């Protein structure tokens, strides 16, 4: 059963040609400007649970999305059907919407002088020549290492090995054509530990553009097991104010909230707690947050954004001072400035690490909470109010004492950002938001 | 043949030249001694949305997604593949790829009879909401909503209103001979406002919808959402810091039922319980709630956002009693988990689309009414929190810990609702939170039709509801120690 059936060649459609057809259709329908994104991807994932194959899933997706402009009115439509008829219907649907939308002086394609002119090879595409049988073997080994790691590992949600690659063409009526390929491979493992009737689950994963950059599958299993068993016997702590360390994998969410508040749409709608904060002290002095869109093999790397605007390295925050926003062409015009090359989001945003590793951060904190899991959506981008469910470990004299659960941590992001005391050297660089562990003073913990 | 089946065949089979005998042949290729069950899920979904901000509808979008997912179950194994081409070659290939999970060699093709099942009476009309209103009228509706919000108070600085509609046609073809179709409309209207006063900004949000066409949004209803969003934003302008710590919490009726969805619902989904990964595993027949509590998951309510005539595996939905007078009665099942645990499917097999695998999911989850008047419940509390509106929630089904975040809440002091407090997350332990319910109100309400549930990356529309509830000792994640 381990023979992977051969999938048909998915590149039978020329995506560039299709994009060109869509633009031509838009033009012949009377649109003054248009843009189109066409993508195609395929791959598979195999999950092994308790030593047996549980799920094999084959994925093949495609989509075409078009936006048309009639002067300063716009409409958008998308389809997963690449037939000529569907293409015509989709362009017509977009045009039909544009008839009813209002004139908007800020609407339109990117400014021509901002479009990318150079397309360096960022080494983002490396399909993994992985047979289904090999994937199953690797997942089996990963899960086995987890189950062998500790006798308290009694159950599992399985180990998964997946590989996906794809291509995306973006073109607009200014003559811009971008054609990018990318791949992503992942090994993950979720296991459960049990002790005295208490059950805890945790996971670990590795993900990379190139399979050779993945961490060994066995290590992923062992880390997942260690993380699950160390949570066993979690207890509540009393309500208090305390310093908190956000372990690197959860600290990335602090960057996510920052991006949410600096997005152009949040700013021009006055729906951001960082309104009018440009060139102001927003983080503690010394904090640097920078974007590196052209990092080779980076999770968020790209030479141009979703509108074709050239990306470039920049500091979003330097020495704690806010230096820029996260804008696309539309919000740039709304705010009387220019796109920052962030249509579609940020690209490899990094909170720069200090010298201390996690152990040193724990010693620096002395007594406090190490947060390893956050749940819920209790973050208000308008006010900065922050209140989320948390689990982790209580720390005394720099040493982990016992696991903690069923508590919340709360504050306001405006204050929390200014109270970041240290950023650890334990950089989690797996995703598009990258940081080490973060020590913040003065967080409210609600518990028993 | 039912109307929905005629439409399903016209939409899903005929354009690609597929016939019912083609479906038989594809199922026949999957027939193999090691295969317990297989199905094909054909889907066409047309979605549109219109967004108004700064007084203008600046853009709208329209999308069409269609395809077929083929799933094969063998023991606990699942093979899955899909295609966005509704043609025989693509369907056959998807079936072969999915079927490889159980087949080492190809057996002789066996014809599986493909029959229409007894029609289930639909819970909503087989309509296309997208064409139920002229585009100009959709824009005008959003403009009226915007004007109503701004008219309420000069402190309203921004209004964002959105209208969306989905027309979905599905057909499930199963290896046991069942062939079922469903035509599912879904509409939603949402309003978010930002109020500003003396440098402080707060937002309020309201909306609703269901399995109707756009004419559901009468001015009375739509303008009511605008007024409600404004009311919430203005309340929050006066809010003080929320308290931190464990205290008595009174939850309002309706949408606060997100408590049940997170604390109870997910933990009772059949997949987690078959695998023994839920904090509720193996606890059927045990007391998990106060005897006043009866909680159901009911997919059969006409026109509700969380309702389905048949689930995504073709099983008619049911009114499933999850907890009866405090005792855990049943888990929610799809066909796979029902078969593996020897229990009947409960009509809870759902999937986001043809490109996703079905799994046990909730429909409309709510607690039945109790005997107390809401005023009586509030009067019984010396000091506590009264939470009436919530954002989303989340649960760790293994540890049982769940959260849900209040977006409108007040202090209760000496039996009276006093000052509004800022939003805060509430955290508790699913298996015991309902044992700490001491009063259940007589004011059961369902939410207005805004819920979306995420599980393993798949989003499906759901509903929640409850009467006013008094929970002793819930942890409130404010900042005021």
Grouped pLDDT means (10 residues each) for chain B, 481 residues: 87 94 90 89 96 92 95 94 93 92 53 62 94 95 98 97 98 92 97 96 97 97 98 96 96 96 96 94 96 98 98 97 97 97 97 97 98 98 96 93 95 97 93 96 97 96 98 94 86
A237 shares contact with chain B (CB less than 8 Å):
no
Task: For residue B135, give the chain A residue with the closest CA.
Answer: A100
Model pLDDT for residues A160-169, shown as the tens digit of each residue: 999 999 999 9
Nearest in space to B304 (alpha carbons), one of B188, B426, B434: B188
Give the residue from chain A lying closest to B390, CA to CA.
A378
Closest partner CB to A446 (pick from B60, B67, B477):
B477
Name the residue among A100, A269, A389 with its Cβ closest to that of B158.
Answer: A269
pLDDT of residue A420: 98
Chain A residues whose CB is inside 8 A of the B242 CB are 387, 410
Structure tokens at B455: 């599980």
B287-299 core/surface letters (b: 16 or more CB in 10 A; e: else): ebbbebbbbbbbb
Contacts A58 to B, Cβ<8 Å = 80-82, 94, 97-98
Q: A58 — contact with chain B (CB < 8 Å)?
A: yes
Give the model's pLDDT for residue B3. 84
Contact at CB, B80 and A57, closer than 8 angstroms: yes
Judged against a pLDDT cut of 50, whether residue A2 lies above it is answered with no
Q: Can you give the pLDDT at residue B103?
A: 62
Distance in Å from the first CA to the final CA of chain B: 65
Among A66, A80, A62, A79, residue whose Cα is nearest residue A25: A66
Contacts of A99 in chain B (CB under 8 A): 135
The answer to whether residue A13 neighbours chain B at the CB level (below 8 Å) is no
Q: Which of B79, B279, B402 shows the shortest C-beta gap to A56?
A: B79
Minimal Cα–Cα distance from A386 to chain B, Å? 8
Residue range A7-13: mean pLDDT, rounded: 50
Which pLDDT score is estimated for B101? 78
Contact B82 A377 (CB under 8 A): no
Chain A contact present for B474, CB below 8 A: no
At B278 the pLDDT is 94
The domains of chain A are located at: 15-229, 234-448
Average pLDDT in chain A: 95
Q: Do B425 and A376 touch (CB under 8 A)?
A: yes
The pLDDT tens digits of the residues spanning B350-408 come to 999 999 999 999 999 999 999 999 999 999 999 999 999 999 899 999 999 999 999 99
Residue A12 has pLDDT above 80, yes or no: no
The first and second tokens of residue B475, run together, are 């942890």
Which A residues in the span 88-147 are in contact with B, Cβ-Cβ below 8 Å? Answer: 89-90, 93-94, 96-97, 99-104, 107
- Say if the ipTM goes beyond 0.85: yes
Q: Which of residues 3-42 of B touch A (CB under 8 A)?
A: none
State pLDDT tens for residues B430-468: 999 999 999 999 999 999 999 999 999 999 999 999 999
CA distance B119 to chain A (A): 31
Kindly report the three-state secondary structure assignment for every residue of A60-74. EEEEEEEEEEECCEE
Q: Is the dihedral of CA B325, B327, B329, B333 positive or negative?
A: positive
Give yes or no for a contact between B423 and B405, defined as CB atoms under 8 angstroms apart.
yes
Nearest to A54 among B78, B96, B399 (CB): B78
pLDDT at B105: 42
pTM > 0.90: yes or no: yes
Rg (CA), chain A: 24
* B61 chain-A contacts, CB cut-off 8 A: 75-78, 97
Residue A37: pLDDT over 90 = yes
For A87-106, write each residue's pLDDT tens digit: 999 999 999 999 999 999 99
Confidence (pLDDT) at A10:
45
DSSP strand pairing (B56-74 vs A73-79): parallel
Mean pLDDT of A229-255: 97
Tokens of A381: 């981008």
Question: What's the CATH class of domain A15-229?
Answer: alpha beta
Task: Report d(CA B239, CA B81) in Å as an integer.
Answer: 51
């Amino acid at each position: 059963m381990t023979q992977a059936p051969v999938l048909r060649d998915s590149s039978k459609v020329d995506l560039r040609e299709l994009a060109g057809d869509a633009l031509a259709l838009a033009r012949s329908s009377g649109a003054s400007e248009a843009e189109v994104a066409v993508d195609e991807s395929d791959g598979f994932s195999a999950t092994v649970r308790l030593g047996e194959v549980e799920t094999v899933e084959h994925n093949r997706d495609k989509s075409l999305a078009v936006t048309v402009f009639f002067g300063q009115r716009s409409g958008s439509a998308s389809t997963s059907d690449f037939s000529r008829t569907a293409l015509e219907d989709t362009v017509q649907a977009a045009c039909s919407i544009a008839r009813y939308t209002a004139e908007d002086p800020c609407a339109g394609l990117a400014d021509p002088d901002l479009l990318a002119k150079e397309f360096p090879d960022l080494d983002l595409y490396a399909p993994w020549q992985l047979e289904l049988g090999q994937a199953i073997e690797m997942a089996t080994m990963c899960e086995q290492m987890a189950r062998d790691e500790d006798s308290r590992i009694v159950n599992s949600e399985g180990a998964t090995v997946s590989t996906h690659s794809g291509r995306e063409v973006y073109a607009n009526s200014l003559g811009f054509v971008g054609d990018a390929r990318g791949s992503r491979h992942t090994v993950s493992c979720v296991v459960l530990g049990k002790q005295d009737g208490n059950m805890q689950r945790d996971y670990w994963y590795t993900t990379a553009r190139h399979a050779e950059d993945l961490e060994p599958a066995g290590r992923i299993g062992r880390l997942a097991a260690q993380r699950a068993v160390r949570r066993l016997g979690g207890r509540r702590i009393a309500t208090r104010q305390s310093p908190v360390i956000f372990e690197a994998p959860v600290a990335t969410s602090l960057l996510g909230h920052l991006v949410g508040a600096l997005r152009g749409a949040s700013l021009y709608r006055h729906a951001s707690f960082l309104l009018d904060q440009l060139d102001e002290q927003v983080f503690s002095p010394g904090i640097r947050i920078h974007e590196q869109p052209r990092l080779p093999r980076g999770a968020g790397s790209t030479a141009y954004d979703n509108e074709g605007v050239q990306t470039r390295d920049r500091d979003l925050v330097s020495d704690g001072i806010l230096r820029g926003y996260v804008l696309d062409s539309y919000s740039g015009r709304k705010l009387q400035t220019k796109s920052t090359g962030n249509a579609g989001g940020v690209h490899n945003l990094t909170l720069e690490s200090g010298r201390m590793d996690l152990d040193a951060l724990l010693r620096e904190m002395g007594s406090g909470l190490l947060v390893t899991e956050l749940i819920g959506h209790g973050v208000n981008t308008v006010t900065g109010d922050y209140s989320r469910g948390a689990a982790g470990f209580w720390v005394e004299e720099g040493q982990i004492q016992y696991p903690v659960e069923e508590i919340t941590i709360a504050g306001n992001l405006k204050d929390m950002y200014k109270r970041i005391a240290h950023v650890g050297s334990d950089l989690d660089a797996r995703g598009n938001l990258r940081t080490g562990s973060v020590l913040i003073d003065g967080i409210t913990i609600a518990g028993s | 043949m039912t109307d929905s089946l005629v439409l399903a065949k016209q939409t899903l089979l005929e354009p690609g030249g597929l016939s019912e005998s083609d479906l038989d042949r594809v199922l026949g290729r999957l027939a193999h001694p090691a295969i317990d069950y297989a199905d094909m899920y054909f889907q066409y979904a047309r979605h549109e949305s219109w967004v108004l901000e700064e007084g203008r509808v600046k853009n709208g979008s329209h999308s069409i997604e269609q395809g077929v997912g083929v799933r094969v179950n063998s023991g606990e194994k699942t093979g899955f593949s899909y295609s966005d081409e509704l043609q025989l070659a693509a369907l056959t290939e998807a079936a072969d790829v999915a079927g490889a999970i159980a087949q080492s060699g190809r057996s002789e093709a066996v014809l599986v009879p493909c029959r229409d099942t007894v029609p289930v009476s639909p819970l909503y009309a087989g309509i296309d909401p997208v064409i139920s209103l002229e585009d100009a009228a959709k824009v005008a509706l959003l403009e009226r909503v915007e004007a109503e919000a701004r008219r309420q108070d000069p402190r309203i600085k921004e209004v964002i209103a959105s209208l969306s509609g989905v027309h979905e046609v599905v057909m499930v073809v199963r290896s046991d001979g069942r062939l079922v179709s469903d035509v599912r409309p879904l509409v939603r209207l949402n309003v978010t406002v930002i109020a500003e006063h003396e440098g402080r900004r707060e937002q309020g949000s309201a909306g609703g919808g269901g399995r109707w066409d756009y004419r559901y949004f009468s001015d009375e209803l739509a303008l009511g959402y605008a007024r409600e969003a404004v009311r919430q934003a203005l309340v929050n302008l006066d809010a003080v810091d929320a308290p931190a710590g464990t205290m008595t919490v009174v939850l309002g009726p309706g949408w606060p039922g997100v408590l049940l969805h997170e604390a109870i619902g997910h933990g009772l989904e059949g997949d987690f319980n078959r695998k023994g990964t839920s904090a509720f595993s193996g606890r059927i027949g045990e007391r998990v709630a106060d005897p006043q509590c009866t909680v159901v998951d009911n997919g059969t309510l006409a026109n509700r956002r969380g309702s389905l005539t048949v689930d995504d595996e073709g099983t008619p939905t049911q009114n499933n009693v999850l907890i009866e007078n405090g005792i855990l009665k049943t888990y929610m099942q799809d066909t796979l988990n029902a078969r593996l645990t020897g229990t009947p499917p409960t009509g809870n097999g759902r999937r986001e689309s043809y490109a996703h695998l079905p799994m046990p999911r909730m429909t409309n989850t709510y607690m039945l009414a109790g005997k107390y008047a809401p005023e009586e419940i509030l009067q019984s509390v010396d000091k506590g929190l009264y939470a009436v509106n919530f954002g989303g929630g989340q649960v760790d089904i293994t540890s049982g810990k769940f959260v849900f975040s209040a977006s409108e809440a007040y202090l209760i002091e000496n039996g009276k609702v006093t000052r509004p407090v800022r939003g805060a997350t509430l955290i508790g332990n699913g298996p015991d939170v309902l044992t700490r319910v001491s009063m259940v109100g007589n004011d059961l309400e369902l939410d207005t039709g805004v819920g979306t549930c995420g599980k393993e990356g798949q989003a499906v529309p759901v509903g929640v509801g409850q009467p006013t509830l008094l929970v002793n000792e819930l942890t409130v994640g404010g900042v005021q120690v």
